[in-house]
Amino acid sequence: MAEQGSQASRMTSVMEDPSSQAVARTYADALLDAAGTGTDGVLEELGSFVDDVLDKLPDLREIFFSRIVGREEKLRLIDRVFESRSSPIVANFLRVLVRHDRIELIPLIVREARLRHEVRSGRRRIQIKTAMPLSDQAQERLRTRLAQSLPFDPILETQVDPSLIGGIVIRVADTVYDSSLATRVAQLRERIQQRSLHEIQSGRDRFSSAEGN
């Protein structure tokens, strides 16, 4: 039980570690290069390994992620259980991760591989925040408009944020386009505050000038 708890904690830290993300991207690129035209099938298999094996079979997850279980035992498990059920590239990729003590990164690698495969295919994810849920028709209209103005095919990830009051927030990579009412109100408040500070400072300067005379 303690081992399972420590593994869960370790997995969380791995997923959040920037160095782990960099390593995961390296493995993800290598996987995509090796998969070639069969990338979709490979990603589906590895996604199933994460979702249907690691997430739903905690005993197997404990074995793969345990630092007590040796590499050879993990490799034998892959040969015995997964080799006949997986494509050669997926089975070999799992072996590589085990040999390099990187099997804990498999959920992060799969996520990075999916994202990088989308980019290679001319697609990219865009985060959309709105005050109210968007209908399917509204999402498609927005996707079409974005596709016309962006150099890639957008994949929309929508999120509802009632604090926006109205409008929409669009995030493309590190760039945020914000037209929400809440943001406009905050910007207006900031401009008013800056104008008031400027007027106060100007009054002080005039008063100081008058005293000097």
112 and 155 co-located in one domain: no
87 and 47 co-located in one domain: yes
The CATH number covering residue 54 comes to 1.10.520
Q: Which residues contact 23 (CB under 8 A, 6 or more apart)?
A: 102, 105
| Phi/psi-derived region of residue 36, left when phi > 0, alpha when psi is between -120 and 50, beta in every other case | left
pLDDT value for 203: 54
CB 45 within 8 A of CB 96: no
pLDDT value for 188: 66
pLDDT value for 2: 46
> Which one of 85, 118, 151 terminates a domain?
118
112 and 166 co-located in one domain: no
pLDDT in tens, 20-74: 889 999 999 999 999 999 999 999 999 999 999 899 999 999 999 998 999 999 9
What residue numbers bound the domain in which 31 lies? Answer: 2-118
Question: Alpha-carbon dihedral of residues 32, 36, 42, 44, nearest 10 degrees?
Answer: 90
159 and 142 co-located in one domain: yes
21 and 104 co-located in one domain: yes
pLDDT value for 206: 53
89 and 8 co-located in one domain: yes
Domain count, the chain: 2
Amino acid at site 38: G
197 and 99 co-located in one domain: no
Question: Alpha-carbon dihedral of residues 54, 21, 114, 162, nearest 10 degrees?
Answer: 90
CB 114 within 8 A of CB 108: no
Calpha distance 195→193 (Å, rounded): 5
12 and 75 co-located in one domain: yes
> Which one of 56, 89, 118 terminates a domain?
118
> Which one of 118, 143, 172 terminates a domain?
118
142 and 64 co-located in one domain: no
15 and 113 co-located in one domain: yes
111 and 209 co-located in one domain: no
127 and 152 co-located in one domain: yes
pLDDT in tens, 156-194: 999 998 888 778 888 887 788 887 767 766 666 677 767
pLDDT in tens, 66-97: 989 999 999 999 999 888 888 999 999 999 99
Mean pLDDT of 99-118: 94
Environment class of 130 (CB within 10 Å of its CB; exposed 0-12, middle 13-18, buried 19+): buried
